[in-house]
Structure 1
């Protein structure tokens, strides 16, 4: 893996998953191309005969096929292809792209070889068919923060044949200097499993590292736009929205440095595509632009997201528990089966949607994040399958096994609202315990009256113990229980301690015997977990508590809750 690059050699890295009819044409068109290059095909779990075709293919160029049985993300699998490539230059090409000018590989490589300041180059992309319609004449951004392709849907003109700097380029056809690709770490695999915007992110990392990107309009390729990801079983629109917010948050300064384009260069012209006959594809400008579907394609999926405003992230709330007001967040919908609880909360947030069913809310209302505060496993799983980020309230973790399995399999992200999870005093206390050891502990946690002591306070108490001691809580035995107070003995890593939960004035005290440290935690105005959830929606790094990581803790909480309920039910 990672062989020493051969000077002057180009490695064409092509990711495929099914769509054999496109792959066959793409490889045949590369046979006509000039220059010194090899081909690396990464089969991302095809099951339509692609593997058999590639195994039997006699191609005039050196061909390496990397076969994978599963369908993983495009970023990871392109990185796998790059790791075995021998070329000085990596030419990432999708399997729905055809060589139009035979010298495209040679010309792009010559551009990179002639200017060591260049990190990547890309050709002109045209739609297939008889009409000379531009699909992408380079990637660009405007002064107001809009990001998109230049010239989409416009007739080919002299301005599209220029050579000029660009701010990003699509992986449909992107040639990168191999050394530069390695230096910036390749494609960011956090964009998987549905890789949208990973090409923009790579280009921005190259630019942040001091390299330039050039659009080379003198050579062209034909791109069957919209075929690569439409078949993988994901709803790509909400995923794209989330990734786009990451890009705009992460690379605002890079885009601000230019090169800038006028808004007219990025004007979106809707096109109609007919690929029924791949030998004679037809593409034309849509006669009635207003009739275009919402998800036209990549950067026009949500035009508001491609501009600097609005800056708010949109959140829907399942359950009528109050959600704190945070700058930059709009609560756009609320769901709760109790109309008397639902309507006041919806009015307080100024939410446009108020529904009784959580699944309907998550399925209907456009949003980037979902807060599930009450038990509604179906709504949480629906949001995860749509690729949304879900923040679960502690009472929402009732059907633990289904939630954990759904979080592992779905493209969305699932974290838990544990307000004190990353509290700095807990961190310091944990360091002191690591140095001095622990012989016992005491936790006292109170808050104003709620519905269920163990469900609402138990996870915070046990999580604090685990974070400070560095070991999981394995057993909790209730000593006494009333509806307003619960006392229990807990065991964590052989260390025994006491836990007291109650309704009252806010208080969170934790002490550890042996190392003699204590902590009295003060809750912030806004839950730390909620603030981190919002930061993650905006694309920033955030120390989230993922559901999968605390599944064992919630197993203990659910058993403890059952034990207390049984005690309270006794006459």
Structure 2
């Protein structure tokens, strides 16, 4: 999958958006200042809170930003519209509530340029607005010390990922738009089934929002089951280890949920009425 032309590869970034007026401009500010990022495609998924107007005004001052619309609700249709619109040789994705570091675009660009055998990359996300974010930070630290971060992987994390355009074109028809599958895992499995390599890049670290942690344990369990359903949908056997992992993830979430119930993510303080829960960047 080496580049066939002498010009430097173009990096596009896709940002799906649904009612993200409080956070979208901060996300875009982190992206437009990076020279390695050539274009930013914001996909509005039917916002009614003024998000499109904010993006449109921002794009007027920053030509590399483009606003497009996808009226079919769901993270997968929004992602697909963004990926199809992007002109880049490399296509990255992040979420409106995610903050990427100044070197994020350069890290993606250089890794894919220097590793032609790699079709897609993903990174680590920790939290920028959690009262107990140090727990995740410590977990990542331990994994790093054990040498468990980096190298080939079988999954990608939606707010922090990228792939080659030709890899996307190869698997696009295979990807699902069903709301009962995990879209990032589905995309990763589509790539893996075609023998396309995914690498976890240690320096590809972003900060995302913990607001999905306010999701009730009942809904979080249903969310975890989406992963098992996605594995089974691709014809793979759901192993006991997979079930152990989702039970562990659900248990961790349930133990922390009482904390997040009263945490105001915008003001970063506890409150009796902290606002509504969100489960994904496009409301599903």
Cα displacement string for residues 230-284 of structure 1 (whole angstroms, at most 9, x for unaligned residues):
7xxxx7865763663242352527x99xxx99x79x95433344652436479xx
1:278 aligns with 2:262: no
Aligned pairs for 1:106-505 (under 5 A) are 106-129=106-129, 133=133, 154-157=138-141, 159-160=143-144, 162-185=149-172, 188-191=175-178, 194=179, 196-227=181-212, 238=222, 241=225, 244-252=228-236, 267-268=248-249, 269-270=252-253, 271=256, 272-273=259-260, 276-278=264-266, 280=268
Tell me, yes or no, if the aligned pair for 2:176 and 2:186 is still in contact at 8 Å: no
- Bigger Rg, which one: 1
Tell me, yes or no, if the aligned pair for 1:74 and 1:195 is still in contact at 8 Å: no
SS at match of 2:264: coil
How much does 1:59 deviate? Answer: 4.9
Question: Counterpart in 1 of 2:24?
Answer: 23
| d(CA) in 2 for partners of 1:84, 1:129 | 31
Tell me, yes or no, if the aligned pair for 2:153 and 2:198 is still in contact at 8 Å: yes
Tell me, yes or no, if the aligned pair for 1:26 and 1:96 is still in contact at 8 Å: yes
**Alpha carbons of structure 1 residues 73 and 131: separation in structure 2 relative to 1, 3 Å:** closer
Tell me, yes or no, if the aligned pair for 2:129 and 2:265 is still in contact at 8 Å: no
Q: How does the TM-score come out when normalised to structure 1?
A: 0.39
SS at match of 1:20: coil
Which has the larger strand fraction?
Answer: 1
Gaps (5+ residues) in structure 2? 271-276
**Alpha carbons of structure 1 residues 86 and 64: separation in structure 2 relative to 1, 3 Å:** same
SS at match of 1:213: strand
Question: Counterpart in 2 of 1:67?
Answer: 69
SS at match of 1:24: helix
**Alpha carbons of structure 1 residues 182 and 50: separation in structure 2 relative to 1, 3 Å:** same
SS at match of 2:156: coil
Gaps (5+ residues) in structure 1? 136-151, 283-294, 299-410, 412-571
Question: Counterpart in 2 of 1:48?
Answer: 49
**Alpha carbons of structure 1 residues 134 and 82: separation in structure 2 relative to 1, 3 Å:** farther
Question: Counterpart in 1 of 2:103?
Answer: 103
| d(CA) in 1 for partners of 2:173, 2:93 | 12
How much does 1:9 deviate? Answer: 1.3
| d(CA) in 1 for partners of 2:213, 2:22 | 12
Aligned pairs for 1:490-529 (under 5 A) are none
**Alpha carbons of structure 1 residues 164 and 275: separation in structure 2 relative to 1, 3 Å:** farther
How much does 1:19 deviate? Answer: 2.4
| d(CA) in 2 for partners of 1:275, 1:61 | 37
| d(CA) in 1 for partners of 2:156, 2:265 | 28
| d(CA) in 2 for partners of 1:30, 1:16 | 15
Tell me, yes or no, if the aligned pair for 2:128 and 2:207 is still in contact at 8 Å: yes
**Alpha carbons of structure 1 residues 251 and 96: separation in structure 2 relative to 1, 3 Å:** farther
Cα displacement string for residues 397-445 of structure 1 (whole angstroms, at most 9, x for unaligned residues):
xxxxxxxxxxxxxx9xxxxxxxxxxxxxxxxxxxxxxxxxxxxxxxxxx
**Alpha carbons of structure 1 residues 182 and 60: separation in structure 2 relative to 1, 3 Å:** same
SS at match of 1:205: helix
Tell me, yes or no, if the aligned pair for 2:211 and 2:265 is still in contact at 8 Å: no
- Kindly report the root-mean-square deviation, in angstroms, between the aligned alpha carbons of the 2 structures: 3.9
Q: How does the TM-score come out when normalised to structure 2?
A: 0.73
* Count of aligned residue pairs for this structure pair: 254
